[in-house]
Amino acid sequence: MNGNTQMNKKNMIRVLVVEDDSETANYIVKGLTECGHIVDHAPDGREGLLMADSTDYQVIIADRMLPKVDGVTMTRTLRGSGNRTPILMLSALGDVDDRVVGLKAGADDYLVKPFAFSELQARIEALVRRAEPESPDTVLIVADLEMDLLKREVRRNEKKIDLQPREFRLLEYLMRHSGQVVTRTMLLEKVWDYHFDPQTNVIDVHISRLRGKIDKEFDVTLLHTVRGAGYMLSEPD
């Protein structure tokens, strides 16, 4: 696989990060940019308000304790002006009362520092899905791989591929997140309904079986292992 696998444009998210701590801001901006998203940064709440009003963002990530205009006031101001962009508020303040204040101001989600980047990414994607509901897909397509959810059929290059129920569910999740790195934790939660690590190789076994069915007999590989991160189903460059 080409190390620079491109993200599908449909999965690209335009994000505004409003964060005064340069280390945290760089961590978020770098991570989201590497995921293929378009990211702008504002170092204070006043600048954040100006940028949010002038650009159509899909998600705003705002620290609660900001200079010039704090995150709660910024959120309240945006909502008062009719801006409905989903807002994820970050804060070292993790008490229930602190979260309630942020949510009541108009934030859509609240993440306590320190946080794992994978959780930040998952929450951003959830906010985007919630804000832009799509009509239910009945057919998923990635390159020449096609999944019919109503008929429960999978074909690649018109050749029918027989999958076990868990393999079907695994492939469906990968296809719905095509072009994105899917972590082992995400697969355990969404495909196996595990909210803990069972300390088994169940994912490796199913990925290997799935790869043997959808890739082995074809010239172009679609299912890739991203070393140290997870897996990605992607169209060829």
Residues 6+ apart with CB under 8 A from 66: 18, 19, 20, 44, 45, 48, 74
Instruction: Report the alpha-carbon distance of residue 228 to residue 5 in Å, rounded.
Output: 15
Pairing of strands 153-156, 159-161: antiparallel
**What is the CA 15 to chain-centroid distance, rounded?**
12
Quick one: pLDDT at residue 7?
44
**Pairing mode of beta strands 87-91, 59-63:** parallel
pLDDT per position as a tens digit, 31-74: 999 999 999 999 999 999 999 999 999 999 999 999 999 999 99
pLDDT at 132: 66
pLDDT at 120: 94
pLDDT tens digits along 127-158: 988 876 555 678 999 999 999 998 999 999 99
**Placement of tokens 């799935």 in the chain:** 210
Q: What is the pLDDT of residues 67-108, one digit of tens each?
A: 999 999 999 999 998 899 999 999 888 778 888 888 999 999
Q: Where do the domains of the chain lie, and which CATH numbers do they carry?
A: 9-131 (3.40.50.2300), 139-233 (1.10.10.10)
